[in-house]
Amino acid sequence: MRVLSGGLVFTDGELRRLDVGFDDYGRIVELGEELPGEALDCSGLVILPGMIDVHVHFRDFAEAYKEDWQSGGRAAVKGGVTMVLEMPNTDPPTLTPAAARRKRELAERSLVDFGLYGGLIEENIELIPLLAEEVQAFKLYLGQTTGGLTVTDPGALKEILQGVALTGKVLSVHAQRDGGGSRTTTASSEARDFERIIDLAVRYGFKLHLAHVSTGEGVRLIEQAKGDVDLTAETCPHYLFLTEEDLAREGARLKVNPPLARESDRGLLWEALQEGLIDMVASDHAPHTLEEKEREFTLAPAGLPGVETTLPLLLDATNRGKLQLRRLVELFSTNPARRFELERRGRIEVGYRADFTIVDLDLTRCVDEDELATKCGWSPFADYELRGWPVMTIVGGELVYHHPEIQVPPEWGHFEDGFLQR
Catalytic residues: 284
**What phi and psi, each to the nearest 5 degrees, are found at residue 61?**
50, -125
Backbone phi and psi for residue 30, each to the nearest 5 degrees, phi listed first: -160, 140
Q: Of 190, 196, 166, 168, give the one whose Cα is nearest residue 178.
A: 190
Q: Are strands 385-395 and 8-11 parallel, antiparallel or unpaired?
A: unpaired
Instruction: Report how far residue 43's alpha carbon sits from residue 63's, in angstroms, rounded to the nearest whole number.
Output: 42
Count Cα atoms within 13 angstroms, Cβ side, for 39. Answer: 12
Kindly give, in sequence order, each residue whose CB lies less than 8 Å from that of residue 351, ignoring residues fewer than 6 positions away: 27, 28, 344
CB-based contact 236:212 (threshold 8 Å): yes
Rounded to a whole number, what is the largest CA-CA distance in the chain? 62
Q: Is 379 in a helix, a strand, or coil?
A: coil
* Continuous H helices in 251-303: 263-275, 290-293
Determine whether 369 is exposed, middle or buried from the number of CB atoms within 10 Å of its CB (0-12, 13-18, 19+): middle
AA identity, residue 82: T
For the chain, helix (H) and strand (E) counts, in that order, are 13, 21
Judged on CB neighbours under 10 Å (0-12, 13-18, 19+), 402 is: middle
Cβ(209)–Cβ(173) below 8 Å: yes
Give the integer Cα–Cα distance in Å for 237 and 242.
8
